[in-house]
Structure 1
Amino acid sequence: MIRKATIILTIIIGLLIAGCTNSDNKEFEASFKGTVDHVHGMGYAGDDNGLYFATHTGLKIYRDGTWFETTKNNNDYMGFNAVDKGFYTSGHPGKDSDLPNPIGIQRSFDGGRTLESLKFEGETDFHAMAVGYQSHDIFLMNPSKNSELEVGLYLSTDDTKSWESVEASGLEGDILALAIHPTDSNYVAAATSTGVYISKDAGTSFEIITDSAQGTAVFFNEENLYYASYGTVPSLVKHNLTNGEEEKINLPDLTEDGPVYIAQNPQNAQEIAIYTVKGQAYLSNDGGETWNQLLENGKVK
């Protein structure tokens, strides 16, 4: 009899916990049908199969064919990077936030419900920042002197506790985007006003891999660097890290436009997303052969 009562009690507790979790999800995420603009990062954050867009008014999420927005912590996210457990970000506090301005480097491992401050609150807003998807190593451009760092490029492999200044010889132009390999932080990439550059020694030296084109986006998976550039037309390329071979990926029709963010679903390598200069977002479920438009001039579809 006691055993039966224990089993019933366990089931009831489980149902209550599940109910609370579902309630929390509904309270934190609401259906969204508006406009997604001022995007400063995009990626698959955590393991909930959601494609996260970091905007001036918080997170917008595309998941299983439906759009959602968050109902709190609607900060102006900059330097947003999705990782396996959630995301790392910088930026400015939203209207509902008591965070100092700027917010320095923050991270969230619960979809944005809570934020954990790592470093530089009230000091620096990092626009050019890359975080390893699994390593969580941070590679960034510090735009102005703060309490620890001079202006320049830095690498942290211990969640901001210490920083190593990076020489970055060979890297030229204004930095538009940075990326770091998900597990091997020797691989770093930069998209700049003069092209796309790759480093195989943790940023000590870089080599250019584009010809007469401005770099616009960079993204690593385990085997490849995906990069976008713009010469006379936009281009999206998959660059193999082992042998340097390159494969051009089909793009949707983009008129005087091009990708500024690239993401790939870690649970499905065929699922690739891009976000463009003019606020278009596209999703491919076949590795870039065909594209489904998610945003048209920022408006959800």
Structure 2
Amino acid sequence: MTTKTTFWDNKQHTVLVVELVFYSILLVASVGALLRRRQLSKGAILCSISALKISGCAVSVHAAIQTVNAINSQGATKYPSVSLVTTGAILTSLATAPLILLTRAFCPTGDLPQRFQKFIRITVIVPAIIAIVGYNDWANGGSSMTTGIALVKASSILYLALYLAFVASGLVMYLQVRNSATRIESTGVFIVLLAMPFFLVRFIYVIASSFVLTTNMSAYHKFSFFNGDWRTSLSMFVVMEFVVEVIYCFGVHLLISRETELTSVTDDGSVKMESA
């Protein structure tokens, strides 16, 4: 009697389920931040990160279930399409954009014009679009695969460049106003620096994963996002991202509490709040 493959035989599938649970909890915590009615933009960004991750993991789990069913039924035509597998990767990749944007939101903006701040927010969309086009070209196969791989590589490097630029500019801005900085500004910078080492390890994995992408979709490499070593992915990507998001989520709630503390009621009942 042939032993059937189960969903849990592949450790990567277990990791996907853990991610689903984690991001569901993060979504609840993010909504909780929104309900506190302060630091709304940061709470909204956390919600978008959770939603994208949940969507990406759900698609990947669905593809994994189809794979297991195809193996057990020995039906080659029942394997998930490359497009379905790629969709999960794209959604996961898209979550990087709001995560970097949240990093910038924790840093002081000083006297930067609103138009320039809006331009900064738009820049994170560029690597996201490049990643979508790249993965799509790679999934379509044929001559477009090489172009797609090049775009995925460019996207991973551009994400890192934007992250470092945001952190550097935020630190410069903070040093300029350090003597007059509020507790909220100081706390925001501390949160970014606390998460930075974990973020950088995550970036190392993402860049390595993009550079081992080849035209052979079944090729194995331990850094491969699709069929690599689950231990490497878990330790360098999944756990690192968990830590960053826990720090940022805690940071948002901490800033909300700090902002509440800075709000005082004057004798005549009016509200006075220190600038944040």
Give the TM interval when normalised to the shorter protein.
under 0.3
TM-score after normalising by structure 1: 0.24
TM-score under structure 2 normalisation?
0.25
Which of the pair is proportionally richer in strand?
A: 1
Which structure: larger Rg?
2
Structure showing the higher helix proportion among its residues? 2
Higher relative contact order (CA 8 A, sep 6+): 2
